[in-house]
Structure 1
Amino acid sequence: MISYEGRLFRKAGGGDGTVARYRQDGDLVWAEFGGGAVRRGTVTGTCAPDGTLRLAYTMVLATGEVIAGHTVNVPQLQPDGRLVLREQWQRYGEHATSGVSYLEEVAPGGREGSDD
């Protein structure tokens, strides 16, 4: 099973300034994220044996908008050891929409600036 404990992710391609730090306890996974247009966000969900994440999320944007939804994230291991998550997402309520995004691990093992 993939461990997400301590891993940092951002939007693929350099991101928009938003960074998420993931935590894990068994199959329970959660993260807090912020930066860029996001004042604060959280995700909580489960990790399947193959590393697929099923998460619910909420976030408050810099504009004050509150957005909620859910995602299914499928991990893809890169040649350099980093993970990329293919994130299929759906938003609820007045912001209802859906799409696919990609999140990339900031550094191998997810520990930015790590020497190991």
Structure 2
Amino acid sequence: MDVPNYDGRIFRPIGNPPGAPTGRYHQNGTLIWAEFGGGRLHYGRLVGTCDETGTITATYCQLTATGEVTAGEVRSVPGRTADGVLTLTENWHRLDGSTGVSVIEEVDPSLAPADPTTIQHAALP
């Protein structure tokens, strides 16, 4: 598999479920960052690095729609679906000790999250 450049790519959970959080990724050399939101997430940020295989090692923090703040580490390994769509298998570990695996896939740029600085949000609980 060719090493992807993540700059400008949009990712959502595999299968592109309605209302799922969506992330916009950026890359400058080995530096990776992303902003994400939607569904149960009010807003989130990720920052980390990308190695020569395309694997991302990062930390993240996010604010849920109910006002809960969570943070942790993630290691995201690139792959491809049978149809050739870029995926990231995310092995995450939150500061609260919970762990899990999520798979996200590249989606059409029209599904990009809105810039959170331009949105008027209702007050959080």
TM > 0.5 fold call? yes
Counterpart of 2:7 in structure 1 is 5
Superposition deviation, residue 100 in structure 1: 0.6
Counterpart of 1:80 in structure 2 is 83
Superposition deviation, residue 78 in structure 1: 3.0
Superposition deviation, residue 59 in structure 1: 0.1
Q: Deviations over 1:27-67 (max 9, x none)?
A: 00000000000000000000001100001000000110000
Structure 2: state its 5+ residue gaps: 112-125
Superposition deviation, residue 2 in structure 1: 1.7
What CA distance in whole angstroms lies between the structure 1 residues aligned with 2:28 and 2:110? 21
Counterpart of 2:42 in structure 1 is 39
Structure 1: state its 5+ residue gaps: none
Matches within 5 A, 1:89-100: 89-93=92-96, 96-100=97-101
Aligned residues: 108
What CA distance in whole angstroms lies between the structure 2 residues aligned with 1:18 and 1:6? 16
Superposition deviation, residue 79 in structure 1: 4.3
Matched AA of 1:41: G
TM norm structure 1: 0.86
- Percent of paired sites with the same residue: 44
Taking only aligned residues, the RMSD between alpha carbons, in angstroms, comes to 1.5
SS of structure 2 residue aligned to 1:64: coil
Matches within 5 A, 1:12-51: 12-15=14-17, 16-51=19-54
Superposition deviation, residue 17 in structure 1: 2.1
Matched AA of 1:102: V
Counterpart of 2:120 in structure 1 is none
Superposition deviation, residue 69 in structure 1: 0.2
What is the aligned counterpart of 1:70 among 70, 73, 82? Answer: 73
Matches within 5 A, 1:46-61: 46-61=49-64
TM norm structure 2: 0.80
